[in-house]
Amino acid sequence: MVVQSLVQSSIDAQADADAEISSPPPRRASSRLQGKPRPQKELLVRRRVQLLDEHEDGDREGGGLSKRANVYGRRRSHAENEAQEASSNGALEGGTGKPSDPLVEKSDHVKVKETLRLFNKHYLYFVQEEEKRCRKVEADNKASASSKKASKSSKKASKSSKNSKKEASSPDAKVGKAKRPDLKALTKMLENKEILRGTKRIGSIPGIDVGHQFYSRAEMVAVGFHSHWLNGIDYMGQSYSKGEYSNYTFPLAVAIVISGMYEDDLDNAEDVVYTGQGGHNLTGDKRQIQDQVLERGNLALKNCVEQCVLVRVVRGHECKSSYCGKLYTYDGLYKVVQYWAEKGISGFTVFKYRLRRADGQPALTTNQVQFINGRVPQSLSEIRGLVCEDISGGQEDVPIPATNLVDDPPVAPTGFMYCKSMQIAQNVKLPTDATGCNCKGTCMDPKTCACTMLNGSDFPYVQRDGGRLIEAKDVVFECGPKCGCGPACVNRTSQRGLKYRFEVFRTPMKGWAVRSWDFIPSGAPVCEYIGILRRTEDVDNASENYYIFDIDCLQTMKGLDGRERRSQAVCLPAVNSLERPDDQSVPDFCIDAGSTGNIARFINHSCEPNLFVQCVLSSHHDIKLARIMLFAADNIPPLQELTYDYGYALDSVLGPDGKVKQMFCHCGATGCRKRLF
């Protein structure tokens, strides 16, 4: 693998180039919570490729993973699981996930997911740094323009102003010439030894199934799937000639990326003619400018032919959702059956490799013409099993259809009234004493914004993609009604309502569920858990209401019941609730979405969820009455079911007879805990 120092050098070079670029007890205890790259200067890119190739025989250091931020907050389950109820001796459907036992080895899928989440966290951090740089450049340019206007009365000042203008127009001062946060994130992971796998392997990679989608080449490097963020051929060098692979001749290819960059490629899905590496005009026009040589990756593919070694094939497709402009899909293992040299379209010698897809694998989801990941309807007439055109009744800006292909006859969701804003019980009073910031228009400086200072050192969000949370926190302080900024402020990201196209659909085992027709980037707000804000004591005796969400953020912040801690980069003294005794283990308030609620009430539990729960404070600073937001924990492709971990501890639910109730989990996750509670 490429040694760390050389990858670092390569990434730095890229960055520099881009710089130019039941009857409950009296009190219920809360559950235990467990941009598309721009064309580069040819010589610089070639030097970068050379750096990677010259040290291919080295081993990259890999290592630790950060813990997944555990979901907190609890919601009782759907009432819609009649079949599940019967199969579980009357047990309630629902449940929330308890954190996995630290002594239990994590599954490969979980390791991959956690590594990608860590990559996205680093990525968003560097996006934030880039946004700061852009704001500074804008401020400097405005100051320069003001200086020019003020100095027009003097010829000398005018000359100075021209020099200032020239300086402001230099590459370093241009807002649009952004550096690569994805490559910086990869550098950070290399420095911290957070790359998932430190050695290469032949064949499939545990935890990455056929059809897995990567949103950048850097993600492939982060999980040890493909060690090059630029080269199309990944191969083992001579350092692998001992030990497990001692019987092979090296170099030996392990993976290739087909992304349409070579004019001589021919992709017929199951049968591929792949052009070797080298001699390519890397400035973006796909042209060959010199002969290829049978070395490094080219030699590695030739050796695969002679030794019948299968290689992993990834295809890249244009994708507006991806920050690098492409989406990469793993299409399985291919056998390199033939190679030859010929004159290419541009008249230079190229090496060709014919690859055929190995039998017995899942069906392809991509081909050379289009990317298909399910079929998102384009109109209501295309929706199969439509039972309701809009469950919100026109309250949401975008209709939320409901579909049912399970029941016969199909039925629509009933028994509740849709509401897009929180309802407050009569005996609950929201605080009104929170002061706002004095910012105007939009908050720009975290060191002067009073609300942002409560979050620690910086804004919790980045502006990219309409606002994304960098990482899960104990609590996020947002600007509120008494602030001077407007609705476009980045520190109001969770207050903008639904922005994705959602669908509520019926499942065979889990009742109703939710999916998005749009791609949702990690850290993006999905929805708020809406219902009636009540005192917990008022719902203790409620029966057959399985949509209660305890606001137990205070308990999580205190680490009660062994709960995992989150980032605590907040101004804790501002949270008056934290002065309560440490034995306060029962939340004072909850959100009841049984009779009134929004789309969040239909989102199911998963032991390996793609959403996480985040407490948010905006109109006041009482943590016991925090808003409950659901954010994307991963990059979520269209039509994937949205889920979060309900957080129930096992054996925490009692039936009317006082006995422990049990509920089986049907989330289908690879690491499913088998029980909801």
Share of the chain above pLDDT 70, in %: 72
**Reported pTM:** 0.80
Phi, psi angle pair for 596, to nearest 5°: -140, 130
Work out the pLDDT band at 171, boundaries 50, 70, 90: very low
- In Å, what is the CA distance from 542 to each residue of 51, 250, 547, 597? 67, 69, 11, 17
Work out the pLDDT band at 106, boundaries 50, 70, 90: confident
The pairing of strands 252-258 and 548-550 is unpaired
Pairwise CA distance, residues 77 & 546, whole Å: 5
**Which string of DSSP letters, residue by residue, matches 170-203?**
SGGG-TT----HHHHHHHHHHHTT--S-SS--SS
Higher-confidence residue: 324 or 424?
424
Q: Residue 492 above 70 pLDDT?
A: yes
Query: What 3 state SS string does 99-164 have?
Result: CCCCCCCCCHHHHHHHHHHHHHHHHHHHHHHHHHHHHHHHHHHHHHHHHHHHCCCCHHHHHHHHHH
Residues 254 and 353 sit within 8 Å (Cβ to Cβ) = no
Task: Output the pLDDT for position 48.
Answer: 45
- Cα Dmax for the chain: 92
Q: What is the mean pLDDT of the chain?
A: 78
Q: Residue 158 above 70 pLDDT?
A: no
Q: Residues 453-473: pLDDT tens digits?
A: 999 878 999 999 999 999 999
Higher-confidence residue: 87 or 504?
504
**Cis link prior to 251 (omega < 30° from 0)?**
yes
Work out the pLDDT band at 174, boundaries 50, 70, 90: low
Residues 527 and 598 sit within 8 Å (Cβ to Cβ) = yes
The pairing of strands 74-75 and 643-644 is unpaired
Residues 124 and 675 sit within 8 Å (Cβ to Cβ) = no
- In Å, what is the CA distance from 622 to each residue of 384, 528, 559? 45, 17, 18
Task: Output the pLDDT for position 166.
Answer: 46
Work out the pLDDT band at 82, boundaries 50, 70, 90: very low
**Which tokens belong to 139?**
């401020």
Least confident of 266-280, 316-330, 356-370: 356-370
Residues 73 and 551 sit within 8 Å (Cβ to Cβ) = yes
Q: Residues 109-150: pLDDT tens digits?
A: 999 999 999 999 999 999 999 998 888 888 788 777 777 776
Q: How many CA atoms are closer than 13 Å to the CA of 465, on its beta-carbon side?
A: 24
Task: Output the pLDDT for position 77.
Answer: 39
Q: Residue 491 above 50 pLDDT?
A: yes
Q: Residues 379-425: pLDDT tens digits?
A: 778 889 999 999 999 999 999 999 999 999 999 999 999 999 999 99
Pairwise CA distance, residues 38 & 18, whole Å: 8
Query: Residue 51: enclosing H or E segment and its boundaries?
Result: helix 42-54
Q: How many CA atoms are closer than 13 Å to the CA of 418, on its beta-carbon side?
A: 19
* Across 507-519, average pLDDT: 94
